[in-house]
Amino acid sequence: MPSYLIMNPFGFPILTTTIFLPLVGALVILFLRNDRAIKITAFIASLFALGVSLLLFARFDYSSALFQFGEMTSWIASYNINYILGVDGISVMLVMLTTIISPFAILSTWNAIQIRVKEFMISILIMETAMIGVFCSLDFVLFYFFWEAMLIPMYLLIAVWGGPNKDYASLKFFIYTLSGSVFLLVAIIALYLVNGTFSIPEAMFKGYSFQFQFWIFLAFGIAFAIKVPMFPFHTWLPAAHTEAPTVGSVFLASILLKMGTYGFIRFCLSIVPQASFYFAPLMIILALIGIIYGGLVCLGQTDMKKLVAYSSVAHMGFVILGIFTFSLYGFVGAMLQMLNHGVTTGGLFLLVGMVYERTHSRQIYDNAGLGKITPVYMFFFGLFSVSAFAFPGTNSFVGELYVLIAAFLTNRIVGFFAIIGAVVAAAYMLNLLKKIAWGREDKRDIQDVSLREFIYMLPLAVFVLWVGLFPRPFINVMETTLVNLAMQLEKVSH
Amino acid sequence: MTLLPEIYTFLFSLVFLFLSLGKGKRPLFILARTLAVIGLVISFLSINASGLLFSGAYRVDYFSQIFKVLLNIGLTLVVFMFHKDDEVDNVPEFYMFLGFSTLGLTILVSSVELISILVSLEISSFSLYAIVPLRRAQTRDHLEASIKYLFFGAISTGIMLYGMGYLYAFAHSTYLVDIVEKTPVFLARPFGVLALLLTLTAFFFKLSLFPLHFWAPDIYEGASDATTTFIATVPKVAGAAVLIRLTMLANSPVSQLALLLIVLAAFSMTLGNLVGLVQKDLKRLLAYSGIAHAGYLMLGLLSFNEDGNAAVAYYITVYLFMNLALFYVIMLLSRGGQNLKISDLTGLARKSPLLAFTLAAAAFSLAGIPPTGGFTGKFFLFVNAFRAGHLAIVIIAAVNTVISLFYYLNLVRVSYSKEAQGPSVGLSFYEKALCYLFSIAIIILGLMPLTFMEMFRQAM
C-alpha cells in the first residue's frame, strides 16, 4: 500500500461497496418486470449506498490529510494502471453529496416517469455508480473510465425522457463534454509518460517544468471548464437543463457540475500549481464574468427551469473564484459552495419539477400566485430561493461569505465585482419568489406537496438551515485537507 | 501437427465445394456451424504450435497462431450470424469461398517470405472477388461494386509486387529474415522506405486505409450483408497482422516511414469521419467508419516496438467484435434483403430492446467511450504513439474521436429517442444469445484487457 493511502479500517472494501451497490441494484432491476418493484428496488439500492457511505464518517480521521479507506489492486499491470480508491476531506463530502441526493432524486421520479421505467432506473443507478467512482478514484485511468462512462446514462436520460428539443440538447451535452475530455485524456497520458504511473497522488507537487505545466493546465482546464461550466463554455448547460427530466437536472446541477470544480481543486492546483498561479487571473476574470453574466441572464428569464439553470452558471463562478484565490478561506468557501449549490439548486430543480407535474408548464406566469394555493410548497420554495441568493441564516451565506472574504483579501476589485454578482442574484431570485408567491390572484386547483414529496424535501431543507446556522461540523471534515493543500501551494509559490 | 488449422480450413472448404456440386439445395446451417466450431476448437488447441516449414518460408509461432484463432473466431461468428433469410444465392458456394478466403488469410499470417505472402493474399482475395456479386436481388450498382473490388484489389496487388521487387533487389532474397538483416542499410535510403511502403500497399487496401479506401463504401453497399460482414472484419485482422510483421522489419523507429504512416493515418481518420457524417446508408456509414479506424490502427505501428504492436493487435480484436455486433444488428433488421438506412433504426429500442442495446454498445465502442473495448483499445494506441513522441497525431486522433461521435451517437439517438413505427422485432433464443455474446465481449474487452494484452505482448 503506497504512503499516500491510509488502510481501510473496515473489514470489507467500503468504497468499492459504496460505488458498486447502485450497479448491483441496476443488475437486479434487469430481471424485474413490475414498474413499482423496479422503483422500490432502485430506491433501496441507493439507500443502501447512502447507508454505507454514512459509515465513512464514523471512522473518518479528521486530523489526516491523506487519502483514507484506501484500496489498491493491480488492474492493467503492463501499463502500471491500478484500481486505487481513497477519499480525503474534499472527496468524502462530494461522495456524501452524491449518495444523499440520489435516493431523493429517485423518489422524485415516482409519478413523473411513466414510460420505460426499467431503463430509466438502470440509467440512474449506473450514473450514481459512475459519479461516486469519479470522486473516489485515485488512478487517472479509473477516474477517466468513470468520468466518461457517466456521459452515456446522462445522455440517455436527456435523449429518451427529455423535452421536445431533446435531440439538440442531448447531442450538444455529449459533444461538448467529450470534446473537453479527449484533451484530458491526452494530458493524462502525458503525465503518465513523465511519471511512469497513472496514480493521481503520485503526480501531485512534482515540480514539472513550467512549459509542461502550462500545456497540462490548458488540457485539464478545458475539460473542467466545460464541465463546470465556465463562461464561455456554458451554452450546453441551459439547453441540457431545460430538456432533461427533473431528475436529470438534479443530477446535472448537484453532482455533474461539481466534477468540474472538483477537477480544478484536485488536479489543477496540486498537479500543475505554477500554471494554476499563472492562469489564476484569467480564471478569476472568467469566473466574475460568469457570476455577473449568469445573473443578468437570469433577470430576463420567464422559464423557471431556465432561470435556475443560468443561476448555476453564476453560483459555480463563486466556486471557481474561491478556488483560484489559493487561500484557505477561498478553498473552504468553494467546498461549501459546492455542497450548498448541490443541495439548494438540486432542491430548486425538484421544486420546479413538482409544480411542472401539476401544471405542465414551467413558465413563471402559469405557476404564479401559489402562495395561497399551496402553502407547504411555498415554504420550501421560499427557503430554497432565499438560500440561492445567500441570505444570512441559510447555507449559501456561509459559503459565499468565505469566498467573498478570500476575494477581498486577494484583490478589492475582484471582491467588488463579486458583490455585484451577489446583489444581482438577490434581484432575480426575489423577483422569482415574489411572482411565484403573489403573482396571480385567481384560485386554481393545484395539489399541495404530498407526503412522498415532503419526505425528500425535508432533509434538504434541514441541510440548508444546518449549514446556515452551524457549519462547523462540515468544515471540520475538510479542513485538514484544505489546510494541507493551502500550505503545499504556499511552499510552491516561493 | 503444426498445420492442423490450415488443413482443417481447407477441408471445410472442400466439404462445401462438393456440396455445391450436388443439385438439391438443402439448408446447410447446422453443418456449417458445427464445422466452423470444430475449426475454432482446433485453432485454439494448436495455439502453442511452433515450427519453421517449407524451407523457412512458413513460420508457425505464437504470433501467427493467435491471429489464426482470431481469424477462426471471425469466420465462426460470421457463419453463425448467417441465417436463412439472408439474401446470398447459392449457399454452399458462399461457405466454400468464406472457407477459402479464411484459408488464404490463415496462411498469410504465417508467411514470412514474399512469394508465399503474395500467394496466400491472392487466395483470400480471389475468393472474396467471387462472393461479392452473390446477391439475390442484384442491381447494376451491386455488379459495379464487385468489378470495382476486383480492379482495386488487382491494382493494389500489382503495386505490392512492384515494392517487393525492390525489396528483393536490395536484399537478394525473398525471405523476411534476410530482408531484416539488410534493413538498416536500405531504410537509410529514401528508396528503401518507398519499397517498404509499396509492399505495405496491399495491406492498406485490405484495411481500407487512405488512399486505398475507395472500394470500401461501394463494396459495403453493394455486397450482401453477410459478405460485407466478412469483408469488413476478418481480412482486416490478417491485414493488421501482416502490417505488424512487415513494420517489425524496421526493428527501430524509422522517421520517414513513421512520417508517412502519420500522414496516411491523419488523412484516413479525418476523411473517414468527415464523410461518415453525411451518410444515410448504414453500411456505407460503416465503411467510412472502417476507413477512420484503419487510421487509428496506424498509431500503434508508429512506435515500432512490441507494446505498440500489441496495442494494434488488441485494437483489431476489439474492432472485430464491435463490427460484428453492429453488422449482426443490421442483418437481423434487414430481413427483406434491402440495404438499411439509418432512419430504419427509428424506435429500435421499442421494437427490440436487446438489439438496441447491442447497437448502442457497438456504437459507443466504435466511438471510444468507456467502459467499452473501443475506449481501452484506443487508449493503448494513444499511449504508445505518444510514448514514441508523436503527440500531433494523438491530438488529431482525439479530435477525430469527437467528430466521429456525431454519427455514432446518431445511431443511438435514432434507435432510442424516436418513437417506433412498425411491428416489434422478435428474436429467437439463438439470436438473443449471439447479441448477448457480442455485448458482453465488447464490455469485457473494455474492462479486463490485461490477459489479452499480455498474450499479444508475448506473441510479438
Model ipTM? 0.89
Phi first, then psi, for residue A5 (nearest 5°) are -105, 140
Q: Which residues contact B106 (CB under 8 A, 6 or more apart)?
A: B5, B6, B9, B68, B71, B72, B238
Where residue B253 falls among pLDDT bands split at 50, 70, 90? low
Q: Answer whether residue A288 shows pLDDT above 80.
A: yes
Asked if A167's CB is within 8 angstroms of B413's CB, the reply is yes
Please write the tens of the pLDDT for every residue from B185-225: 777 777 888 888 888 888 888 888 888 888 888 888 888 88
Cell of A359: 401544471
**Closest CA–CA distance from residue B397 to any residue of chain A (Å):** 9
Q: For chain B, what is the domain count?
A: 1
Res A7: pLDDT: 84
Domain residue spans in chain A? 272-494
Q: What is the pLDDT of residue A128?
A: 93
Q: Which residue has the cell 511452433?
A: B50
Nearest to A77 among B383, B413, B450 (CB): B450
Query: Is B421 within 8 Å of B346 (Cβ atoms)?
Result: yes
Average pLDDT, integer, range A368-388: 88
Interchain contact, A148 vs B387, CB within 8 Å: no
Of A163 and B89, which is predicted with more confidence? A163
Asked if residue A133 has pLDDT above 90, the reply is: yes
pLDDT bin (cut points 50, 70, 90) of residue B26 is: low
pLDDT per position as a tens digit, B361-387: 999 999 988 889 999 999 999 999 998
**Which grid coordinates belong to A200?**
493521481
Task: Name the most confidently modeled range: A234-248, A273-287, B21-35, B86-100.
Answer: A273-287
State whether residue A301 is helix, strand or coil.
coil
Q: What is the pLDDT of residue A341?
A: 92
The predicted structure's pLDDT at residue B336: 65
**Which residues 6+ apart lie within 8 Å of B88 measured at CB?**
B82, B94, B131, B134, B135, B136, B224, B226, B227
A110 in reach of chain B (CB within 8 A): no
- A87 to chain B, minimum CA–CA distance in Å? 23
- A197 backbone dihedrals φ, ψ, rounded to 5°: -150, 155
**Closest Cα in chain A to B357:** A119
Distance from CA of B187 to the nearest CA of A (A): 28
Q: Which residues of B touch A146 (CB under 8 A)?
A: 370
Query: What residues of B are in the A interface, CB distance below 8 Å?
Result: 307, 349, 353, 364, 369-371, 375, 379-380, 382-383, 386-387, 391, 394-395, 398-399, 401-402, 405-406, 409, 412-413, 416-417, 449-450, 453-454, 457
CB contact under 8 A, B416 and A79: no
pLDDT in tens, B333-358: 886 667 788 888 888 888 888 888 99
Q: Do the chains contact at A175 and B379, CB–CB below 8 Å?
A: no
On the question of pLDDT at B266 being above 90, the answer is yes
Of the candidates A149, A156, A175, which has its C-beta nearest B405's C-beta? A175
Across B81-87, average pLDDT: 72
The beta-carbon neighbor of B371 closest among A145, A160, A192 is A145
One DSSP character per residue, A455-475 reads HHHHHHHHHHHHHHH--HHHH
- pLDDT per residue over A412-461, tens digit each? 999 999 999 889 999 999 999 988 888 887 878 888 888 888 888 999 99
Grid cell listed for B433: 444469445
Q: Between chains, do B380 and A79 touch, taking CB under 8 Å as contact?
A: yes
User: Residue A232 pLDDT more than 90?
Assistant: no
Is there a contact between B387 and A145 if contact means CB atoms under 8 Å apart? no
Q: Which residue of A has its CA nearest to B410?
A: A171
DSSP A53-73: HHHHHHT--TT--SEEEEEEE
In angstroms, the separation between the Cα of residue A185 and the nearest Cα of chain B is: 8
* Nearest CB to A151 within list B369, B380, B399: B369
The answer to whether A178 contacts B369, with C-beta atoms less than 8 Å apart, is yes
Contacts of B407 in chain A (CB under 8 A): none
| pLDDT tens sequence across B296-315 | 999 988 888 888 889 999 99
Name the least confident of A86-90, A325-329, B57-61: B57-61
Residue spans of alpha helices (H) in B248-372: 255-276, 282-301, 306-333, 348-351, 353-367
Average pLDDT over residues A107-111: 84
Chain A and chain B share a number of CB contacts under 8 A equal to 85
Name residues 123-142 of chain A within 8 A of B (Cβ).
141
How many CA atoms does the CB half-sphere of B225 hold within 13 Å? 28
Helix pair angle (B429-447, B353-367), 10° resolution? 30
Query: CA nearest B391 in A: which residue?
Result: A186
Average pLDDT, integer, range B392-407: 90
Q: Do A182 and B398 touch (CB under 8 A)?
A: yes
Check residue A224 and give its pLDDT.
92
Report, as an integer, the average pLDDT of B388-409: 90
Instruction: Say what the pLDDT of residue B86 is.
Output: 64
pLDDT over 70 (residue B251): no
For residues B295-317, b (16+ Cβ closer than 10 Å) or e, as one string?
bbbbbbbbbbbbbbbbbbbbbbb
Interface membership of A55 toward B (CB under 8 Å): no
Going from the C-alpha of B288 to that of each of B113, B236, B257, B274, B341, the distances in angstroms are: 32, 14, 25, 9, 15
Q: Which residues of B81-102 are buried (b: 16+ CB within 10 A; e: fewer)?
A: bbeeebbbeebbbbbbbbbbbb
Distance from CA of B325 to the nearest CA of A (A): 19
Sort out which chain B residues have CB atoms less than 8 A from A151's CB and list them: 369
Question: Any CB–CB contact under 8 A between A115 and chain B?
Answer: no
Query: Can you tell me whether residue A6 is helix, strand or coil?
Result: strand
Q: Say yes or no to pLDDT of B291 above 70.
A: yes
Nearest CA among A396, A381, A386, A392 for reference residue A426: A386
How does residue A196 score in pLDDT terms, banded at 50, 70 and 90?
A: confident
Q: Which of B402, B409, B449 sits opposite A182 (nearest CB)?
A: B402
Distance between CA A484 and CA B14 in Å, rounded?
Answer: 74
pLDDT (0 to 100) of residue B84: 67
Q: Indicate if the pLDDT at residue B183 is higher than 80.
A: no
What are the pLDDT digits (tens) for B134-164?
Answer: 777 677 777 888 888 888 889 999 999 999 9
Other beta carbons within 10 Å of B183: 21
pLDDT (average), residues B236-261: 81
Q: Give me chain A's average pLDDT, please.
A: 89
Contacts of A162 (CB under 8 A, 6+ apart): A169, A170, A243, A244, A245, A248, B417
From B380, which residue of chain A is nearest by alpha-carbon distance?
A: A79
pLDDT value of residue B455: 85
Q: In chain A, what percentage of residues exceed pLDDT 90? A: 40
pLDDT level of residue A6 (50, 70, 90 thresholds) = confident
| pLDDT surpassing 70 at residue A308 | yes
Model confidence at A116, pLDDT cuts 50, 70, 90, reads: confident
> Residue A186 — very low, low, confident or very high, per pLDDT cuts 50/70/90?
very high
Measured distance CA(B402)–CA(A437) in Å, rounded: 45
At residue A364, the pLDDT reads: 85
CA dihedral B79, B85, B89, B95 (to 10 degrees): 10
What is the spatial distance between Cα A432 and Cα B263, in angstroms, rounded to a whole number?
A: 57
- Residues A370 and B150: their CA atoms lie apart, in Å, by 74
Query: What's the confidence (pLDDT) of residue B167?
Result: 86
Whole-number percent of chain B with pLDDT over 90: 27
Amino acid in position B167: L
| B78/B82 Cα distance (integer angstroms) | 6
Q: Please determine, for residue A245, whether its predicted confidence score (pLDDT) is greater than 70.
A: yes
**Residue B427: other Cβ atoms inside 10 A:** 15
In this structure, what C-alpha cell is assigned to residue B303? 512506435
pLDDT of B89 reads 62
| Residue-averaged pLDDT of chain B | 86
Residue A112: predicted pLDDT: 77
